[in-house]
Amino acid sequence: MTTPVDIPKELERPILYVGMTGFSPQQRADLAAIVARPNGGWPLWRVGPFWEADAWWINGSRISLMPNGDLRVLAGQPTEQALNLKLEEVNRPVAFSTPLAVPDFEPACTFDLSSESSMHKVLQRFDVWLQPLLFKSALGALIIEGGTALRGCIYHVRHKATLLAVLDFRHGKAAVLPTALPGDLKHAEWDKRPSGAHDLPESFSPCTPAQLVWTHARHTGHDLLPARYRTEVLYYRHAPRVPMGWLRDSMLRVLSALAVEPGNFRALRERTGIADGVLASDLACLYYAGAVTTTAFKAAGSTLIRPERSSSHSRIEDLDSLDGGSTLPPMDAEQTAPAMLYQRPPRSAD
């Protein structure tokens, strides 16, 4: 059986974010303008907060290696602090500007601050490294388009003879082929499988439908927040069904505020001090992770009784309609790129 999802002829170009540290305010402004220009790749790139970014650019002239092997990066502007990075724990692509302050440090990726083409080549390399994330974002977009038609079902997503993903909306589980490419989804078939066909291939990367949709929501340029979330009272429901490390600071402020007291969009903006655009983006992610609701009886601690619903009711009120109800994802961080993106210099004999 082929997919009920209307797969678009052209997939949406996702937005990826590069975080920067060690650069002066003028350098950051220049780099942000270069990043935003077309570079020949499929995703769009923008500068974002360092710890929330999909990839990093580090000023190589401001680095030093600590005795324990950590990398120290001096601040480049007054609003920054010096950073100590454990390189073996870095889980995203990293590029260093040249020249390097540590001659025997050999990063896997560098760029020339005086060459725009050098920077664009780095972003294209990042595109390749981040293919798993881009695939999940594209798959998450199709899950949103599928809507209630996917509820309670199990699908095998295939491109020709290759299995790309297993989506189990009955139990809130999923797995994707690590080498799958976003373009494979343009002509993929979604085979509806019987309830017993929910095993996830061991060689696939495990995830959940909620995580796939969240990934798309974090990387789309479209406003995904349902209209009612801008006018009705919002309630905290439960912890988001994604790893807690995925939540940015503003999302934590939103959840904290709603856990204390429900409120509408305007009141929430005033209580948190979060700008409209960021708040809408945060709420969209939290909505698809099942953490917020506009339905009072679904709120955390509510004693209200669920009203009867018409059989013709098809509106998705939260992601529970797609991800298998109370099934929670594992609360561990997911790596989206190889951690070993550098070569550690040899240690001198003591």
Q: Write the pLDDT tens digit of every residue in 176-202.
A: 999 999 999 988 999 999 988 778 999
pLDDT at 343 over 50: no
> How much is the pLDDT for 338?
30
The torsion defined by the Cα of 117, 82, 52 and 207, in degrees rounded to 10, comes to 100
> How much is the pLDDT for 328?
29
Q: Where are the extended beta strands (E) located within the chain?
A: 15-21, 44-47, 55-58, 63-65, 71-73, 83-85, 94-98, 106-107, 110-112, 154-159, 162-168, 173-176, 189-193, 205-207, 235-236, 292-293, 342-343
Report the greatest alpha carbon distance in the chain.
Answer: 76
- The CATH architecture that domain 223-323 belongs to is Orthogonal Bundle (1.10)
In this prediction the pTM is 0.83
Q: Write the pLDDT tens digit of every residue in 20-64.
A: 999 999 999 999 999 999 888 889 999 999 999 999 999 999 999
- The CA-atom distances, in angstroms, between 177 and each of 181, 202, 308 are 9, 10, 40
Mean residue pLDDT across the chain: 85
Q: How many Cα atoms occupy the beta-carbon half-sphere of 15 within 13 Å?
A: 14
Q: Write the pLDDT tens digit of every residue in 99-149.
A: 999 988 999 999 999 999 999 999 999 999 999 999 999 999 999 998 888
User: What ranges do the domains of the chain cover?
Assistant: 15-130, 132-217, 223-323
Instruction: Report which DSSP code applies to 114.
Output: T
Residue 11's pLDDT band, with cuts at 50, 70 and 90, is confident
Q: Which residue has the tokens 């999302």?
A: 251
| The two structure tokens encoding residue 302 | 């509510």
pLDDT at 153 over 90: yes
CA–CA distance, 231 with 234 (Å, rounded to integer):
9
Higher pLDDT, 316 or 252: 252
